[in-house]
Structure 1
Amino acid sequence: MKRLKKILKIFFISIIILILLGIGFTFLFGDKIEEIILNKINSKLKKELSLSEIEFSLFENFPDASVTFSNILIQESFQNSSDTLLFAEEGIIKLNILNVISQDYSVNDVEFNRGVINIKYNENGDPNFDILKDNDEENNNFELNNLNLSNSRFTFSDEVEKIYTSSEIDNINLSLTKEDEKFICNLNGSLRNDSLVVDELDYINNKNVSFNSEIEISDDSIFITSTNLSIGGVDFKNLNFDYSKLSSEYLLTTETENADISNVIFATPKEYQYLYEDHEISGKISAKVEIRKDTNFANPYSEIDFKLNNCKYKSKTQPFELENIYSDCHFDNDSTKRNFDFTQFRFSNFKSSKKGGDFNADFTLTNLNKYYLNVEMFSSWELRELNDFIEDSPFKNMKGTVSGFINYHGNLSFDSKMSGYFANSTHTADLNFKDVYLNYKESELDFVFGKMNWEVDNHNVKISKNKFSVSQSELSFNGNIDNLILYILNEEEKININGKLASDKMIFEELFTITELSSEKEGGVFIGPPNLSVLPTWLDVNISVNVKEFWYNNFTSSDFTTDVNYDSKNLKLTADEIDMQTLDGSISGDVIYFENKLHDLVLKSNLDVNKINISDGFKSFDNFNQTFITNKNINGIATANIYLQSMWDKNYKFYSPSLHMSSQLRIENGELIEFKPMYNLSDYVSLEELKEVKFATLKNKIRIENEKIIIPEMDIHSTALSVHVSGEHSFANIMDYKVSLLLSDVLGNKVKESMSLEEIEHNHEGKTTIQLKMSGHVDDPKITLDKVQLKEDIVNEIIEEGEEVIKIIENKILNKEDPDEKKEKEELDIKIEWDDKNPKK
């Protein structure tokens, strides 16, 4: 214990002695050393060092002795210039204590704190740091092993190369060696770079920079190597920079590994930051970089091979996001062009995922001034993503999925320009849709697709393997649709459909409501501009239709086939070669439906009706919106050839004067059941017989024109009576008929109840008839005798009977053998008086 105390005592005494010796040495030799150091520095400088204070100390920077300068100033070397080359509030020169004792004042370390360093090359390429006096000695080399700069500002400018930079130095340690005409500087430290401008382009602005580098400067070149360089949080390794002062050419190579993409974007020169304005990108990136500047080009050539690792992307302008991005990538700006127009990004084995799908591709993006994309990709989408992605699409509330392979060659944009770029692109695709649901415009109809395949070739879509429903209609379509995608993107005003439409069940009145969406209506009234069409202008159609079960309100048919053509330019719909089984018979023919210049809707048709059930026909068409004769009043089998023309206004209001029909009608096994207008003949025929009137065959040519049904003369031989009818029946139910009844039927007051339909057709020629006129409203008809016609008929019949009597007398009674001998007939003198005052009603 005593030994330890003795050792400590000796140690502390030694320390005190050393301190006292140091203080004494400083007091005795401090000023001299200060003067020697200052003179030594000034002896090297062309301009003397300026300072406010100098102080020597053995202890302040122990174990080194030091000379501290306050407010040190060195002016730049340009003649007639007093600008600052170096200023520091504090400058420290460190000396080895033993060397100082032996009067060797070699400098080991130098520190500058809170200073300013301004390095310049003027327009002649002359530096402002040529401050050292010329040395007559052959060996003009020197070495500074350790120079520390802290809390200082550094600026550099080169008027020839147009390079400017300024930085706030946190801490930099450097060593400087001069060998012949070559300077070698080793740097290690950190700073905050305010700007690094080369040819008016600011490459680094407001970035933190740290480095471990070596700079070699000669008369004709600058060579920089850096094992580690960090700019704005991006760590670069193995950086090499070779610059030729003579040609201004340079080559930069470096690499980075697993750098944060957000830091890469932050480190990107301010001039190029606009490239990221509409995008959010995050994740990791590894890259190998080569940047080369050649004499023959204004811009450098850049080539970067990089990999994306677990990245994310989000568009700021569109609802589009990708995540889990992995890709091998390449970037260059074309060594022969070196501008944005020929810059390209190439992505290989690009794999990513997004909400509800994948996005995998090989693609190349070129021309950063106007993006151009070449891509081969497989992608899958939730269709609900497209509801917001495609603005103003006519298809709403889309649900389901779509997946497939897509090839696209065209411009790319993440704003409203994209639809126009797509219209001018070259593209193909093989797309598969599944469980799709959508609405069209404001229609309440639900479109539902189970599975559907699209083969896209530019603006043509070939659709197959699709069965879908529109509300209650069950449909399938195979064919081509032109400009469908462009129409969705509002780049085309119409689509063109060619193909085959099949349906197990078609509810036509529902489907037809889609055509009304092209017009502007309010409360069912057309409110659009006068030149706006009623029929759709967005659709051209040329399809064959095969429908197993067709419904239009109460009308049904089966095995309905036709070829449909719709021409939106002429607003004309045609249905050719219509054929259907309906109403226990069949209908065939052609239909034309078009919009005229006044926006009226016109229907023209030629139909062949073969043995249809009349009662079911009346029922199917709701008795044609009249009550005069209904499906309960008529029965029979009809065959007819019908030409029909009618017109509606733009509000689908029927224009009755336009209705024109011409038909050749044949009704077999006909029956009028409790047809009240027949009851008006009850004065002539038994009412009981008129309740159910049957007839075998009825033939006639019936016309409709000027709001009247025109019935030419026709004979109806029925179980109740035989009638000869002609006349007109207006749409206002005003009748004007001429009716002829057999006198024998009237006198008998009824027809034999046992008379069959076959017996009805027996020849009634030669029997006397009664002529009636039926006129007025159907609810209050007026029936009168047509006396003029009745007189003529009876007179003619009596004359014919008289002539027959004469022939009998001559041949039988007078025994004239030659009945064919021509003799003049004596006119019978027969008179019939008519009492017209009180005609029987």
Structure 2
Amino acid sequence: MNIRVVKKTLKYAAIILLSLIILIVGGAFVVGYFYSDKVTTLVISELNKRIDTEVTTDKVSFSVLKKFPNASIEFENITIKSSKNIHKNDFKKTNADTLLQAKSLFLEFNIIDIIKENYTIKKINIENGKINILTDFYGEDNFQLWRNEIEKDNSSLKFELKDLQANNTKINIRNLIKGFDLRSNVKKFKLSGAFGSEAYFLESNFTAYIKRFAIDNIVYISEREVTTDVEMKVIKDTYSINRGKLNIAGMRLDIAGTINNNEKTEFDLNFKGKDLNIKTFLSLLPDQYTKNIDDYESSGRFYFDCVLKGELSKYKNPKIDVKFGVENGNVKNKKSNLELNNISLTGLFSNGDKHSSATSFIKFENLKSALGKSEFSGNLIINNFLNPLIQLALNTNLDLAEINNFFPIDSVEKINGNAKVLLKYSGKFTDFKNISEKDIQNSQLEGDIELSNMNLKLKSSNYDFTNFYGKGNFVKNNLSIESLNFMIGKNDFAFQGNLKNILNYILLENQNLKMNGKLSSENFILDEFIHSSESSSEQAILPKDIAFNLDINVKNFTYDKFVANQLSGAIYSEGSKLVAQNVLFSTMQGNVNGDAAIELKENGSLHFQCSANLQKIDVKKLFYTFDNFGQSFILDKNLNGKISAAVDYSSTWDKNLNIIPESVLCDSKLEITNGELIDFEPMTKLSSYIEVSELKHVKFSTLKNEIIIKDRIVTIPLMDINSTAFNIQASGTHNFDNEFTYRVKVLLSELLAKNAKKAKKENDEFSYVEDDGLGKTSIYLIIKGNPDNYKISYDTKSVKENIKQNIKTEKQTIKQILKEEFGLFKNDTSLINKTKEDKKIDFNNQKVNIKWDEENPDKVNFDDD
């Protein structure tokens, strides 16, 4: 090709293009110059006559270039108020006062029409705006803009819309009667067609971010991007969709059908989706239902077929039927790499015969899946979305380790084993968001559960629960356990009974679990629980929301050095109190039976009380087992014999399970048979006063006494220790600081008395001895101090009669306190209330103080105050 010809052609083309530009710009200038004011004035005048609501704008301008090839009138920062009849207070959190706000609103005209003085609006364009289309509870809307009384006139301003566009505009549509709620941010919206014709093709393109789309508060789309591409044929008021594509967050649906908008609006539409992605479909659900969806990835075939048919009006909704299903589905946990595979199900959703939430239902049928060794199958039906009726049938065989790795439970640190569950459930709820106790009570639950080789470690517990084997069945709100065997540490347990109110306990707050049955154990080692706990009284007893009534049977029970065999009884909880009744066990070659109770107080302390009978307990083993009761004055090596006792005891423990000494109250009637005191140091030191070798090893057949504990003091009333060689009478006090005072009377046989007098002549010379007239001699002594530093001195016999009476009075006081606080000694006739006549004499007015002279033990001073 000749280069000169090419250059010449390009030159002519450039000249022509430049001429066209000059012509267009010139023409635009001419049109703008001659027609701007006329068109603008006409449009404003006509709109003022026709619009029946307030309109404000900052500026109105005419332009040929902004929307070229069309001429346009631009309203800058325009606001159109809602029509007057709407009830604005019906709308919460919505600006019902305004129909439209926009940075720019353009009315577009054909330039040639303007030159011909044919002022016809062909297109409306909204940019950077906000539109509220509202219908209140009374059926009044906010978009009735035109005056009804305007008669047909011969104005040259006409509307022949062929294009309606909106860009970067928020569109909210709310119909309170229908429960319709759409909130969207529209990136691009275009609606084009010959709107004024009786028959034409209409195209719609829509790209928006849907914040919320709900009907009757059922959310169908939330926080998702939606695009549409629709072509339809319009004949009068009937719209037939020839091509319809809907894309919701990547899920593509085909749309077909008709919309009739004649006297009433009727739909006959079909939405279909094939080979859809499961994850995409699940992501369309509201976030509160899919919080952990990002931890999983899915594959498989999902299908969707929706029919929308019927009238849409103020008081009617169309019928909605949706069929869906999954085939060859797989869901993988990205953290554990475990995969739930071979998922299959068929489903159906419908808004029912009345097309409302109350008649809506959803079904999941023929659900099947597998996870490693675990298998699932079942059906689920939910009827009535306002007051849901839930029906569930479930059949599973679970590997618990795999299940927990796939669906992690926050409270579980580790779990393994197997569980078989066969359940049927039916329950109706008045409000699914606020489940009530009545809802659960009216539910029906039945089925079987079987555990095998299950092991469990909870994050909040220091214990390992192992070797679970059990069978049970659900009946309504209860779980009946046929057998359940398990271990906690080295402790084995077997349970048979019922767990009542179990559904309420699991699903509701502030509910109690009630446990009835039999609990047995071959070996129960209490040390494991005490040492594993945090030594807190709140953790030392069962939680307040678990109530139980159990018959217990423990073959071997141990705690530290304490060992009990064949322990049996009944234990039950009552609020914050734990009670044990008819407890029996063998220990230390004897037997024990009794009752006990422990109660958690509001300040966190524990109050303990018990009433027990001991029969022929080995004294040496008793002292050894309890580490000589925390004292070193008399040790297990110093004792032999069998003890029987009736004990009433109470005390309070602080939050750290330490006994509060001042709270201890005790009354113990005891009897020791075949007793021996062996190398008891205070007894051997009596040889300084009584030269008798038998004091090193005292044997006696029977010792009876009643021990009182109050105000940190152990009070020992007068008691007799009888042997063939001599008898000893002793009494005294021993406080919790290990300080004691004992008064001892030694009654010697005639032979031993002579030996004592020979060895200690001062006994006779200073009258520390007494002859009872039957050939036996008594010596009075005081033992006072503490185990590391005590003294023995002679006592005087002048106050011996007062000792017994003082002890008796103290004993009666203890009994009265225990009776009033804990209901003990109910059958003790010695606690009869005094009559008014008995109270006439006031012995408290006669105060007598007895002062012992430590330097001269014989001297006793009686002082009247």
Q: TM-score, normalised by structure 1?
A: 0.60
2 CA distance for matches of 1:791 and 1:292? 109
Match of 2:791 among 752, 776, 782: 782
Q: Is the 8 A contact 2:393 2:424 kept in 1?
A: yes
Residue 304 of structure 1: aligned partner: 322
Q: Is the 8 A contact 1:743 1:770 kept in 2?
A: no
2 CA distance for matches of 1:601 and 1:275? 43
Q: Is the 8 A contact 1:238 1:255 kept in 2?
A: yes
Residue 102 of structure 1: aligned partner: none
User: How far 1:586 sits from its partner (Å)?
Assistant: 0.6
User: How far 1:665 sits from its partner (Å)?
Assistant: 2.0
User: How far 1:500 sits from its partner (Å)?
Assistant: 1.6
Which structure 2 residue ranges, 5 or more long, are not aligned? Answer: 1-67, 70-109, 125-144, 148-161, 167-172, 174-179, 757-771, 802-854, 859-865
Cα displacement string for residues 487-506 of structure 1 (whole angstroms, at most 9, x for unaligned residues):
66782365433222111111
2 CA distance for matches of 1:579 and 1:335? 67
Match of 1:644 among 636, 646, 649: 649
Residue 679 of structure 1: aligned partner: 684
Is 2:90 the partner of 1:82? no
CA gap of 1:220–1:604, structure 2 versus 1, over 3 A, is: closer
CA gap of 1:514–1:567, structure 2 versus 1, over 3 A, is: farther
Is 2:252 the partner of 1:252? no
Residue 767 of structure 1: aligned partner: 775
Is 2:673 the partner of 1:668? yes
Determine helix, strand or coil for the equivalent of 1:431: strand
Is 2:664 the partner of 1:659? yes
User: How far 1:546 sits from its partner (Å)?
Assistant: 0.8
Q: How does 1:678-757 map to 2 (within 5 A)?
A: 678-683=683-688, 688-718=693-723, 721-731=726-736, 732-747=738-753, 749=755
Determine helix, strand or coil for the equivalent of 1:654: coil
1 CA distance for matches of 2:623 and 2:309? 89
1 CA distance for matches of 2:577 and 2:271? 69
2 CA distance for matches of 1:838 and 1:237? 115
Residue 573 of structure 2: aligned partner: 566
Point out the more displaced range, 426-435 or 728-737: 426-435
Determine helix, strand or coil for the equivalent of 1:82: strand
Cα displacement string for residues 244-294 of structure 1 (whole angstroms, at most 9, x for unaligned residues):
63443231246554344567679x8xxx87798655765322344321022
CA gap of 1:503–1:217, structure 2 versus 1, over 3 A, is: same
Letter in 2 for 1:776: K
Cα displacement string for residues 156-209 of structure 1 (whole angstroms, at most 9, x for unaligned residues):
99x9xx99998789xx9x9x9xxxx99698x9xx99654799x99999975375
Q: Is the 8 A contact 2:573 2:579 kept in 1?
A: yes
Q: Is the 8 A contact 1:575 1:590 kept in 2?
A: yes
Point out the more displaced range, 574-583 or 731-740: 731-740
Is 2:352 the partner of 1:352? no
User: How far 1:636 sits from its partner (Å)?
Assistant: 0.9
2 CA distance for matches of 1:490 and 1:391? 18
Q: Is the 8 A contact 1:303 1:331 kept in 2?
A: yes
Match of 1:552 among 526, 549, 559: 559
User: How far 1:468 sits from its partner (Å)?
Assistant: 1.6
Residue 302 of structure 2: aligned partner: 285
Cα displacement string for residues 25-47 of structure 1 (whole angstroms, at most 9, x for unaligned residues):
xxxxxxxxxxxxxxxxxxxxxxx
Cα displacement string for residues 527-558 of structure 1 (whole angstroms, at most 9, x for unaligned residues):
xxxxxx99853433321111111112211111
Is 2:547 the partner of 1:540? yes
Q: Is the 8 A contact 1:392 1:490 kept in 2?
A: no
User: How far 1:637 sits from its partner (Å)?
Assistant: 1.4
User: How far 1:229 sits from its partner (Å)?
Assistant: 6.6
CA gap of 1:579–1:361, structure 2 versus 1, over 3 A, is: same
Is 2:583 the partner of 1:578? yes
Determine helix, strand or coil for the equivalent of 1:680: helix
User: How far 1:612 sits from its partner (Å)?
Assistant: 1.5
Q: Is the 8 A contact 1:519 1:535 kept in 2?
A: no
Larger radius of gyration: 1
Q: Is the 8 A contact 2:339 2:371 kept in 1?
A: yes
Q: How does 1:336-347 map to 2 (within 5 A)?
A: 336-338=354-356, 340=357, 342-347=359-364
Determine helix, strand or coil for the equivalent of 1:767: coil
Matched residues, percent identical?
25
Q: How does 1:194-233 map to 2 (within 5 A)?
A: 194=207, 207=227, 209=229, 218-219=235-236, 221-224=238-241
2 CA distance for matches of 1:786 and 1:401? 77
1 CA distance for matches of 2:650 and 2:190? 91
Cα displacement string for residues 595-639 of structure 1 (whole angstroms, at most 9, x for unaligned residues):
456654332222111112111111111111111112111111122
Determine helix, strand or coil for the equivalent of 2:656: coil
CA gap of 1:506–1:311, structure 2 versus 1, over 3 A, is: same
Q: How does 1:139-288 map to 2 (within 5 A)?
A: 193-194=206-207, 207=227, 209=229, 218-219=235-236, 221-224=238-241, 239-241=256-258, 243=260, 245-253=262-270, 255-261=272-278, 278=291, 279=293, 283-288=300-305
Determine helix, strand or coil for the equivalent of 2:774: coil
Determine helix, strand or coil for the equivalent of 1:337: coil
CA gap of 1:619–1:517, structure 2 versus 1, over 3 A, is: closer
CA RMSD, Structure 1 to Structure 2 (Å) = 5.4
Which structure 1 residue ranges, 5 or more long, are not aligned? Answer: 1-50, 53-71, 87-121, 125-152, 522-532, 751-763, 793-835
Residue 447 of structure 1: aligned partner: 465
Q: TM-score, normalised by structure 2?
A: 0.58
Determine helix, strand or coil for the equivalent of 2:265: coil
Cα displacement string for residues 633-657 of structure 1 (whole angstroms, at most 9, x for unaligned residues):
1111122222223333333332334
2 CA distance for matches of 1:476 and 1:667? 39
Determine helix, strand or coil for the equivalent of 1:653: coil
1 CA distance for matches of 2:289 and 2:513? 37
Q: Is the 8 A contact 2:516 2:550 kept in 1?
A: yes
Is 2:630 the partner of 1:625? yes
Is 2:648 the partner of 1:610? no
Is 2:457 the partner of 1:472? no
CA gap of 1:680–1:366, structure 2 versus 1, over 3 A, is: same
2 CA distance for matches of 1:363 and 1:454? 23
2 CA distance for matches of 1:611 and 1:346? 71
1 CA distance for matches of 2:461 and 2:271? 61
Residue 502 of structure 1: aligned partner: 520
Determine helix, strand or coil for the equivalent of 1:629: coil
Residue 820 of structure 1: aligned partner: none
CA gap of 1:75–1:406, structure 2 versus 1, over 3 A, is: farther
Residue 345 of structure 2: aligned partner: 327
Point out the more displaced range, 592-601 or 383-392: 383-392
Point out the more displaced range, 559-568 or 415-424: 415-424
Q: Is the 8 A contact 1:483 1:492 kept in 2?
A: no
Residue 20 of structure 2: aligned partner: none
CA gap of 1:510–1:540, structure 2 versus 1, over 3 A, is: farther
Residue 448 of structure 2: aligned partner: 430
How many residue pairs match? The answer is 609
CA gap of 1:768–1:330, structure 2 versus 1, over 3 A, is: same
2 CA distance for matches of 1:787 and 1:200? 100
Q: Is the 8 A contact 1:196 1:205 kept in 2?
A: yes
